[in-house]
Structure formats: structure tokens, C-alpha cells
Amino acid sequence: MSAAAEPAAPRPAFKPAPPTPYQVMMREDRPSGVFLTVLAIVTLLVPILHLAVPEGHVLHLSGYTVTLIGKYMCYALLAVAVDLIWGYCGILSLGHTAFFALGGYAMGMYLMRQIGTRGVYGDPVLPDFMVFLNWKELPWFWHGMDVFPFAMLMVLFAPGLLAGVFGWLAFRSRVTGVYLSIITQALTYALLLAFFRNEMGFGGNNGLTDFKDLLGFDLKHPETRIVLFMATAVALGAGYFTCRAIVRSRFGRVVQAIRDAESRARFIGYRVENYKLWLFTFSAMLAGVAGALYVPQVGIINPGEFAPINSIEVVIWVAVGGRGTLYGAVVGAIMVNYAKTVMTDALPDAWLYVLGALFVVVTLFLPRGVVGLLPDLKHKIQTLRQRRARASST
């Protein structure tokens, strides 16, 4: 405006280069920027440390560690999915690992079909457990699962469909709060019981395991594992970025309004149930992706993944990290799982005490989680300084 009003400028005004999106993010949302930067560094560094640094070197990362970090990142993605609906929409799902496990089973089915004649019974079509159960034909839902794109579609579709149907029923009839939490728990419990049955056609008690290769690459090979690791990192970054975009959009602001005052949002004229349904379904699909990436890395999927306690554990990751902040979910997932890895190794009996105490302490004393600690501390120091300054000035 002002530039146009002055016809002849003696010299071009100093124009700063437009800030890059990265700079914008670092300025407006520093934690997200830091997280994505760290993630990028880890994604690049881990393969180098694993593949390029020779074994025995101090900086060498073992295959075990790579898989462990990959696992943590799957958990982090799951935690982000839970935080998206709990932290931003107030839907406390105690059954989110059901979607995680469904995505995992879809991936597991693809991997089972890839085994082919290398199974114990050597049947070209039927997985081992079906031969063992004396089944003659592939059940209808196993068809097409040997095609990778279709299987990946199912990774999204199966959890999405369940979440869509369940959410449509639940949100339409305005089941909220603890009631919703309890029926999500019942849902995952029902699925747990169902998947334990051999008749379901998902391997019953033992689940799906003995995977050989993915897209023709041997799963035991270090390069394959690194690619899986990087895929997980990319999925986590992309999932995080998408969730961040959602919560910052207009849609996301409505969702947060629903969290804070559902009736008011409804009376203003928003279709609350539609917002909730879309968010819930998206979150379930994200959990499904996390499950699909988890299965080839750990090498097994069984009905135990449906156990209600797993879902509640995810909720505690989010609570520990700090709900309502996506990076908090990531921090919480990694912290708690690292503690679990260390503790179950050193003091297996003490872990449940620690986990239980974590639930109690976090809800009572840390409602904003670990990531809330730092700002709280800053705020306290600031007020203390102000008070001191005021005291010295008078």
C-alpha cells in the first residue's frame, strides 16, 4: 500500500527473504518444529549408524536397537492417534488398540500369504494354521490379501469401517464420556474373545507369525529392516503433520469447541456427531497404519494385542506426555515404553507398581503431563522474578 503511494523510491527497500515454512513452524509452533527436526535427524542417522558403522564400534547400532526404536515410533503414532481424539475432542477411547491390531492383522494376512510353499505344510495357498485345522478353502476375507496394494487398502479400510460403524452408532445416539469409554473397552474385549476363536480364521490363539518376506525382500535382512524403520519414521512424521494440520484447521477448532462445550457447539448449529465421526474414523485409520508397521518389525500379531489393558496403557502414554499437545503424546509414548523396556529387564516385578503409580501421580499432580512441566516452571520463575523486582523497586 505505502509502496504504491510513493511513486519513485530512491533505492529498493530492504526486502527480507520470505520465511521458509520451516522457519514459520519454528516460530509459531516450536515444539512441533523441534520434534520434526529430531525425527528427521534420527531417520537419517540410524541407518548410517546401523549399516555404515562397523559392528563393534562404539557408535554402531544393533539390529535389536533399530527394531526397538521402530517399535517405539509405532507406539508414538498410535499415541498421536489417541491424543487426536482424546486431547482435542474429549473422546476417551479405551479400545484404540483394537484398530491398531486390525491394521496389524491386515498386514499379517498379507505376510502370511507371502509365505507360500515355504510353510511347514508347504501348501501354496492356505496358511499353515488352516491346513492344520483341515480347512480346504481360503475364507472369503483372505482373498486378495496377497496383493500388496489391496492389503494396504485393508490396513486403512478395516479399522476405518469398524470405527465408522461404531462411531456412527455411538455419536448419533450421543453416547459420551465414561459410557463411551466403557463401550469402547467392551468392543475391544469382544474382539479379543472373537480373535481367540479358531473358527474366526485368523490363527486363533497363536495369531499370525513365521513371516518370511515383504514385497519380496527378506524380513530378516538388515536393509529390509532399515527400510521398514524409515517407513515407520516417515509415517510418524506424516501422521503427526496431518494431525497438526487438522487441529489447526477450522475443522480442528470446531472439534476443540465440541471438547469444551459440546451442547453449545450443537446449539450454534454444528453437526457435532459428524465432526466426531470423521475425527474418530481418521484416528482409527492412523492406529491401523501404526499396527501395520508394527507387525513386520516384531514378527507376530496375536489376539493379545486386543487386550483392554493395552488400550488403557496407550491412554497413559498420552497422559504422561501431556494430552492436547501432539508432541506430548510422542514424548509420553517413548518415555513410558523406554522405561518399560528398562524396568521389565531389570526389575520385572516392579514394573506394574511403577505403571500403576504413574497413572495415579499423573492424574493427580500432572494434569498437563511432562511437556506441561517446562512452561509451568518458566511461568513460576517469571512470577517469582517479577515479585522480586517489585520488592526491590519499592
Determine if 78 is a binding residue for another protein (CB under 8 A): no
Is 230 a binding residue for another protein by CB under 8 A? The answer is no
Q: Which of 26, 51, 131, 183 binds another protein (CB under 8 A)?
A: 183
Whole-angstrom CA distances from 347 to 64, 310, 343 are 20, 20, 5
Closer by beta carbon to another protein, 113 or else 323: 323
Q: Give the residue, chosen from 36, 214, 358, 371, that forms a contact with another protein under the rule CB under 8 A.
A: 358
Question: Would you give the distance in Å from CA 98 to the centre of its chain?
Answer: 13
The one among 41, 169, 238, 268 contacting another protein by CB under 8 A? 169
CB nearer another protein, residue 131 or residue 183 = 183
Taking residues 34 to 73 in sequence order and writing x for each that binds another protein by CB under 8 A, - otherwise, the string is ----------------------------------------
DSSP state of 141: G
Of 190, 219, 231, 234, the one binding another protein (CB under 8 A) is: 190
> With binding defined as CB under 8 A, does residue 357 bind another protein?
yes
Burial state string for 247-266 with b = 16 or more CB within 10 A and e = fewer than 16? beeeebebbbbbbeebeebe
| By the rule CB under 8 A, 120 interacts with another protein | no
When computed from its CA atoms, the radius of gyration of the chain, rounded to whole angstroms, is 24
Q: Does 170 bind another protein (CB under 8 A)?
A: yes
Q: Is the dihedral of CA 180, 304, 155, 62 positive or negative?
A: positive
> Torsion angle, CA of 376/382/384/390, rounded to 10 degrees?
-150
CA 224 – CA 185 distance, rounded (Å): 36
DSSP characters for 190-214? HHHHHHHSGGGSS-GGG-EE---EE
The binder of another protein chosen from 121, 179, 217, 267 (CB under 8 A): 179
134: which 3 cell numbers? 483341515
Please report the sign of the dihedral spanned by the C-alpha atoms of residue 218, residue 222, residue 227, residue 231: positive
Contact residue for another protein among 52, 59, 352, 373 (CB under 8 A): 352
Least separation in angstroms between CB 307 and another protein: 10
Do strands 300-301 and 208-209 pair parallel, antiparallel, or not at all (unpaired)?
A: antiparallel
Query: What values do phi and psi take at 359, rounded to 5?
Result: -55, -50
Query: 267, 353, 379, 380: which one contacts another protein (CB under 8 A)?
Result: 353
Q: Which is nearer to another protein, 261 or 352 (CB)?
A: 352
- Residue 133 makes contact with another protein by CB under 8 A: no
In the bound state with another protein, the residue whose beta carbon lies nearer, of 197 and 380, is 197
Residues 76, 297: contact at Cβ < 8 Å?
no
Stretch that binds another protein, among 21-29, 113-121, 144-152, 180-188 (CB under 8 A): 180-188
User: 311 with 98: CB under 8 angstroms?
Assistant: yes
Closest CB to another protein among 227 and 335? Answer: 335
Site for another protein, rule CB under 8 A: 92, 166, 169-170, 172-175, 177-179, 181-183, 185-187, 189-190, 193-194, 196-197, 308-309, 312, 315-316, 319, 349, 352-353, 355-360, 362-364, 367
